Structure 1
Amino acid sequence: MTRRKIQLVGGGTYSVSLPKAWAESQGVDPGDEVSLHAHLDGVLVVETDAAADEPAGRGPVDLPVDGADPTHAGRLLRAAYAAGVDRATIEAEDGFSVETRRELERTARGLTGTTVADGTDSAITAATPLDPSEVSIRQSVRHLSFVALSTHRDATAAVLDGGSNDAVVDRGDQARRLHALVDRHFRRSLSRLDEVDALGLTRPELFDLWTTSRELERVASRATELAETARRLDDCVDERVADDLRECARDARGVVEAAVDAVVDERGIASAREALVARDDLREATEALDRRLFESDRADPRLTAAVNAVGRTADHGAAIAEAGLRAAVRRADTAADDGSRVGDGVGVAAGDDD
């Protein structure tokens, strides 16, 4: 880091010198113009014209593949989406197999805002013309929370009541699609100067929301594990075990809900603490249930996978709650700069009684 003193020049203009080594490395000469970007989080960034003309994450990019390998082609398109590329052309010198072409089209349909814009025998172009100013990351995470918890609820019913798990598969795909959208904009923000401002967030806020999104996708994955357990069970679950597992699953979802409130709705320390305490209590309950299943002669041992999935669900909620705690502390630090202090996630005028 280099420090410079602010100078006041004629007309009331503030001036600061640029480090010579940086200017030379960027090809900046006296008389050249640079762009200044003032960001929501108080950062002022200097950008050369060359960097502005070639911003990271703006296509097109050409990606060569083996046209007979649909799995790799799909992975490559998903990687381009996650990297923030706006336009990716998948090229196969010897042409695409029918399976590869179908896989690319299926992958594009599963990525929010992506369409197959053009296609020939040897090249397929997928475009993602998403405007970040029209994307609400906070609302996307709220939607993902609803999807993940609904999926978990349906999966629990499939295990305990023998319900269908078809909805679990569909919602699991929806959860992955929503997280992929959040992940794309988060990764673009790492290299794009204008991305965070367009989203209307600070970098710490975006990171907390991305962390929440990642853990919610994992909650949906735990729901898929529950649904898989339901498919493999031969008999109905013992009534007492079913009641205990149902209560544990409900409590696990409560952990996630409280944690998401702490981050997305900025409920503060109280909501995060509620989630963490509930997770600790649930851990004791799932361990006791797991021991009972192990010691029982009648219990299906495959139910232990369901108990584990429920416990891990609460762990994902705890990870979100910890992000909520960090956010609350960060807001407290900001309030302190304004002469306030924060009690339970809420600013309190300095000198007031607790």
Structure 2
Amino acid sequence: MNGSPEPVERKVQLTGGSTYTISLPKEWATTNDVETGTPLVLYPSEERLVALKRSARNSDNWIAIDVRDVDPEALKKTLETAYVTGYDEITLESPTGLTAEQRRAARSAVNGLVGVEIQDVTEDSLLVHSLLDGTEVSLRQTVVQMQLTALSMHEDAIRAILENDDELARRVIDQDDDVDRLFALVSRQFHRGLAEFREIAQLDVDRPTAFAYYRMARQLERVADHAEKTATVATRQHEAPPERFHEELLTLGERARGVLRAALEAGLDDGSVSDLQTVFVDRDSVVADVRALDRSLYDEDVPEPQLLASVLDSIERIAEYGANVAETGLQSALGSANE
């Protein structure tokens, strides 16, 4: 309701022996555009009951963006941001006409997003339309999909380095776009849920849980970035690292991914406080061993030590991202402990 921000307290009354009713003060109702016949939708939300006026949300969920003289790369970023913000229809328009470069940038952006298409193109405008149905989007399942992809990417990236496999490395690099696409979807649905209670109800989660999923997805997007960075090392190195480092790199990579995996499992499945606390201990152990190996690179005659140092930095970062996820889960666990 958009009128008075002041709440009104009313008692539920029994009418006719079978119906509960709530009366509203006329002045308050008029201020909030509620009148006889106004349909209200009631949403149960834990200990609250949220009343919303029924409305066609999509009727005003559009935006027109003037992109005259806008650089194609800036246009692409603007379109991606409008998608994440939650608009169902995004019109790019230019009184002087869209350039071929701008059109290509718009198509590139749309190809990198889930559930949207270019619906109409004219000389001076381009309409992007959403096909997404909020009831068919699962934030939890999207996070799980991101987890499987990002962790697999990092495992393959380290293998590409040790086997000096340029082709495998390039496949990992290409997968980063898949994770970016999923993160944009999670961001979009989360932002829509912040702006409109109906959206969060469709997602079948409460807002704190949606926020936790968003934070998990953010960490996984960063893991994928580091997997891409690690795979890039495989394309730059002249030969595989000395064999004496292979086992340690494999083990450290697996341990870092294990930290993240344990944090995600606890966060997604309501793990105990002790499970989450263990993640921090394991993170510290991984970080200490990574830094010890990093120091040894410069104590020994290792070819291209800066490349291996970059790989170790990414392993450490992934363990840190696991701790970030555990912190989110710990906040939820401690918050629910007093309920």
Normalising by structure 2, we get a TM-score of 0.88
Percent pairwise identity = 30
Change (3 A) 1:314 1:19: farther
Residue of structure 1 aligned with 2:258, choices 241, 251, 254: 254
The aligned residue for residue 193 of structure 2 is 189
> Quick one: which amino acid aligns to residue 312 of structure 1?
R
**Cα shift at 1:314:** 0.7
Other structure's SS at 1:190 match? helix
Task: Decide which of 241, 247, 250 is 1:243's aligned counterpart.
Answer: 247
Q: Structure 2 counterpart of 1:41, which letter?
A: E
Residue 309 (structure 1) aligns with: 314
- Return the match for 1:154 from 153, 156, 172: 156
Secondary structure of the residue aligned to 1:7 is coil
Given that residues 259 and 322 in structure 2 are in contact (C-alpha distance below 8 angstroms), is that contact kept between their aligned partners in structure 1? yes
Q: How do 1:167-246 residues align onto structure 2 when only pairs under 5 Å count?
A: 167-246=171-250
Q: How does 1:69-108 map to 2 (within 5 A)?
A: 69-108=71-110
- Contact 2:173/2:232 (CA < 8 Å) preserved in 1? no
2:42 counterpart of 1:37: yes
In structure 1, distance between residues paired with 2:86 and 2:7 = 33
SS of equivalent to 1:89: strand
Amino acid at match of 1:240: R
Tell me: CA distance 1:18–1:171, structure 2 relative to 1, closer, same or farther (3 Å): farther
Contact 1:151 1:171 in 2 (8 A): yes
User: Gaps (5+ residues) in structure 1?
Assistant: 335-354
Question: Cα offset for 1:167?
Answer: 1.3
Unaligned runs of 5+ in 2: none
Pair 322,29 (structure 1): closer, same or farther in 2 beyond 3 Å = closer
Q: 1:103 to 1:57 in 2, by over 3 A?
A: farther
CA deviation map 1:287-319 (0-9, x unaligned): 101111132333423121111111001111111
**What displacement does 1:322 show?**
1.5
Structure 1 counterpart of 2:122 = 120
Match of 2:296 among 286, 292, 296: 292
Partner SS state of residue 118, structure 2: strand
Alpha-carbon distance in 1 for matches of 2:66, 2:274: 51
Q: Which residue identity does 2:134 align to in structure 1? A: P
Q: Does structure 1 retain, via aligned residues, the 8 Å contact 2:143–2:213?
A: yes
- 1:308-348 per-residue CA deviation (whole Å, 9 max, x = no partner) reads 111001111111111222233344334xxxxxxxxxxxxxx
Give deviations 1:33-70, integer Å, cap 9, x for gaps: 46343243343334457xx45x4895332111036621
Most deviating of 59-68 and 254-263: 59-68
Conserved 8 A contact 2:263-2:326? yes
Deviation at 1:32, TM superposition (A): 7.8
Q: Which residue of 1 aligns with 2:270?
A: 266
Q: Whole-Å Cα distance in 2 between the matches of residues 155 and 225 of structure 1?
A: 9
Greater CA drift, 136-145 or 273-282: 273-282
Distance 1:19-1:211 versus aligned 2 partners, 3 A rule? farther
1:85-125 Cα offsets, whole Å, 9 max, x none, are 00111112222222221121121111000111111111111
Equivalent position of 1:352 in the other structure: none
- Rounded to whole Å, the distance in 1 between the matches of 2:242 and 2:189 is 46
Q: Give the whole-Å Cα distance in 1 for the aligned partners of 2:26 and 2:284.
A: 52
Count of aligned pairs between the two proteins: 329
Q: Contact 1:110–1:177 at 8 Å: present in 2 too?
A: yes
1:142-181 per-residue CA deviation (whole Å, 9 max, x = no partner) reads 1100000011111111222212311112211000001111
Specify the code of the residue in structure 1 equivalent to 2:64. Answer: D
Partners of 1:299 and 1:211 lie apart in 2 by: 38
Distance in 2 between residues matched to 1:162 and 1:57, nearest whole Å: 54
Write the distance in 2 (CA, Å) between the matches of 1:251 and 1:258: 10
Structure 1 residue matching 2:245: 3-state secondary structure: helix
Which residue of 328, 332, 337 corresponds with 2:333?
328
CA offset digits 1:172-231 (Å, max 9, x no partner): 100000111111000001111201110111111111111111100110011111122222
| 1:275 lines up with 2:266 in the alignment | no
CA RMSD of aligned residues (A): 2.6
Instruction: Give 2:61's aligned residue.
Output: 59
Provide the residue aligned with 1:139 in structure 2.
Answer: 141
